[in-house]
Structure 1
């Protein structure tokens, strides 16, 4: 899977380096083309050069294709092409699809890929239609349709790429744009298996435990984040303070949703208070849900750890949620993913503090945004050195591929229990 994403990024880098991809007719620097191609394929949204003013229509279409490929996964797209051509999907291909879509078994992965295509076309199509109607009041119809399609795909794939120099700041009080973008982000970040489960079961009681945890955790994070951002920024004269109450609530809600790996913003990120930026950094690290277009350690990983901690605090042995008991291996897997991810973020942050002229919060925010494939930035991205660009590029790639591959590898190893068991002895912790 990592090799497949690497090939897609290499192809995108080559195309974005062509003179035809640039508005000026001069080739974009290879390092910037590589950064943009990785950011688009990893559905991140961080950019070293402004998308609208740097790339031509050809370049923007290349970016859009990379976003769609990265969001759905190259294995999903190649499988759908193979099905259209009447080819048989081999067991090896099904295993890679299982890894790419983060499924527990290979059973039903081909059927799920069909659901993915249908739901994606429906969601992006409806979003594009609504956004095109809204944009048509401000620009020619052809441009409005193009902008609608681009931003709908970018939002559903949780990419965060936009064709406005200030993201969606100018649409901060626009209810239609805010709701369409956020709903696309949320449904894109739920995970395709959850959406399929909702469609087929259509009852909360019949949903799988996975779907229930994803839905409950997603709603909890959005509501909690909206309230916290609203309270923290309410008196900030650079963000919410000058806005009417309704616009304050809408902006708080939008910024509560986008750190879940989307990258759009209606508030200037650099103007937010340090404590708000720290809270958003935590949201970016958590990210979206397994098998979705988003990144991060995933909502289920966060939920499993949170439930385990609460169980220990209460003095219980079994880790229970929604009337079910979580296997010990699932919790260990969640802890491993969170620990390795945290180690990666801390390591890259430490290196960038040496290579870049920026403070800790700005660098940590940037690295977490790259790892979580979010795309929000305090303004450091365009100022990165070549070393910094390469590190962030590697972090985006790892954030898109690493957690999935790591989760799959750990799941396999946990299934192979050793025949030797050493004597048990306690240690003092805490």
Structure 2
């Protein structure tokens, strides 16, 4: 082994200090930022002023990572465990995790009149899923504007609604917490039963699902709509996401209603209007939002399977939702269609999809599916729980959805740690994968082709 030379370490330290930054890839910087935020959040949540009673460090870490990654899973009841200060810390972690520290840092740098370095530009491109550096500033400002506008509107409406049944300050606090959680697709709730008490309340359910959908479509789509304001002029990607979201929401809504309408433990006791609202919420919330108005553990297995598929797909790119993303799913469907019917190109809305995009989509699908399989296998060896509950928990964590079949509070500490890792990977893993696939290593060596039998 080569001997360690302290002079080299000292020289490297001075180089880093002089340059003012580390030579790390954008995904590593993003992962480090979110890890630091999670650890700081866990430390604050562990403090006596954040809890009504002492909690274990892993409980605080679980809550912090769940908030930062916009998952919403919790091993404890938020209302009875965390004080108002702790709840404020939680929702702040959700807001920062949703907008991303990159957005804040870029806007702050621009506000001070500073130039964005090449490393910062690359980091922003990765965070915003942009290929053009010129659009990074515009996208950063658009994210801030859109988020503030929609959240302020949601807070005002929820506060107005809840002020009819409670005092103004309580209604305002609930409005702020619920709006930020819903728009960021976090599913964190200060009501232990989430939205069970509002299962047939049109105002609460429809406003919540509207915020979830807007947060899950993607900022690039929202910004495209804000700028162009006409269907014909929208970018092909925006049209694909909007069409895909509408179709998935319609199919999911109808399927959940049909599968659960006679289930006495879920939709059965409700009238037609209540059933429609409950089915609509559970359909929309599977797009990584995590709210529930019925008992998830009491759903039919067929409904549970459908919800896992929807959690796996997730929302749009550059959104507050996770999963493999709608665009990825549609590209894979289009690629399969083109191969089956022997089309020369993969085409969507009269636009050809590049082979590189198809390969990235396939890689993301395979990596995510392998992660889910591996984590499920490990958890089945640790936990004595029904297989479908374990699989649901894993898919929910990887997709950062936050729904659970009442398994999260009963998890042993090794499984809690595994879920923490899954939530973190689910939020940042696909980003790292796409970045690694985006770096083209063009070698000079070319190998002869051969045929491999598949299928």
- TM tier, smaller: over 0.9
CA contact (8 A) 2:69 2:427 kept: yes
CA contact (8 A) 2:155 2:175 kept: yes
Aligned residue among 423, 428, 433 for 1:406: 433
State how far apart, in whole Å, the 1-side matches of 2:83 and 2:107 are.
Answer: 29
What TM-score, normalized by structure 1, do the two folds share?
0.97
State how far apart, in whole Å, the 1-side matches of 2:132 and 2:111 are.
Answer: 24
CA contact (8 A) 1:94 1:110 kept: no
- Could you report, residue by residue, the CA deviation over 1:335-366 in whole angstroms, capped at 9, with x for unpaired residues? 00010011001101110001111121101100
The equivalent residue for 1:188 is: 215
- 1:137 Cα deviation from its structure 2 partner: 2.1
Matching of residue 360 in structure 1 with residue 387 in structure 2? yes
State how far apart, in whole Å, the 2-side matches of 1:161 and 1:173 are.
Answer: 20
State how far apart, in whole Å, the 1-side matches of 2:107 and 2:322 are.
Answer: 23
The equivalent residue for 2:94 is: 67
Aligned residue among 272, 278, 289 for 1:251: 278
The answer for unaligned runs of 5 or more in structure 1 is: none
State how far apart, in whole Å, the 2-side matches of 1:179 and 1:216 are.
Answer: 20
- Could you report, residue by residue, the CA deviation over 1:349-404 in whole angstroms, capped at 9, with x for unpaired residues? 11000111112110110011011110000001000101000000000000011111
What TM-score, normalized by structure 2, do the two folds share?
0.92
Matching of residue 117 in structure 1 with residue 155 in structure 2? no
- 1:105 Cα deviation from its structure 2 partner: 2.9
The equivalent residue for 2:51 is: 22
The answer for unaligned runs of 5 or more in structure 2 is: 1-29
State how far apart, in whole Å, the 1-side matches of 2:98 and 2:302 are.
Answer: 31
- Could you report, residue by residue, the CA deviation over 1:197-237 in whole angstroms, capped at 9, with x for unpaired residues? 11112222211121111111111111110011011111111
Moved more, 356-365 or 198-207: 198-207
- 1:89 Cα deviation from its structure 2 partner: 1.9
The equivalent residue for 2:297 is: 270
The equivalent residue for 1:220 is: 247
Structure (1 or 2) with the larger CA radius of gyration: 2
The equivalent residue for 1:161 is: 188
The equivalent residue for 2:453 is: 428
Structure 1 segment 379-418 matched on structure 2, within 5 A: 379-413=406-440, 416-418=441-443
Matching of residue 7 in structure 1 with residue 42 in structure 2? no
The equivalent residue for 2:288 is: 261
Matching of residue 329 in structure 1 with residue 356 in structure 2? yes
CA contact (8 A) 1:191 1:289 kept: yes
- 1:242 Cα deviation from its structure 2 partner: 1.6
3-state DSSP of counterpart to 1:205? helix
Aligned length: 426
- Could you report, residue by residue, the CA deviation over 1:149-207 in whole angstroms, capped at 9, with x for unpaired residues? 11000011100001111000111111111111111111111111111111112222211
Structure 1 segment 71-86 matched on structure 2, within 5 A: 71-86=98-113
Moved more, 71-80 or 389-398: 71-80
- 1:109 Cα deviation from its structure 2 partner: 0.8
State how far apart, in whole Å, the 1-side matches of 2:446 and 2:381 are.
Answer: 45
State how far apart, in whole Å, the 1-side matches of 2:444 and 2:210 are.
Answer: 49
- Could you report, residue by residue, the CA deviation over 1:230-254 in whole angstroms, capped at 9, with x for unpaired residues? 1111111111122111111111111
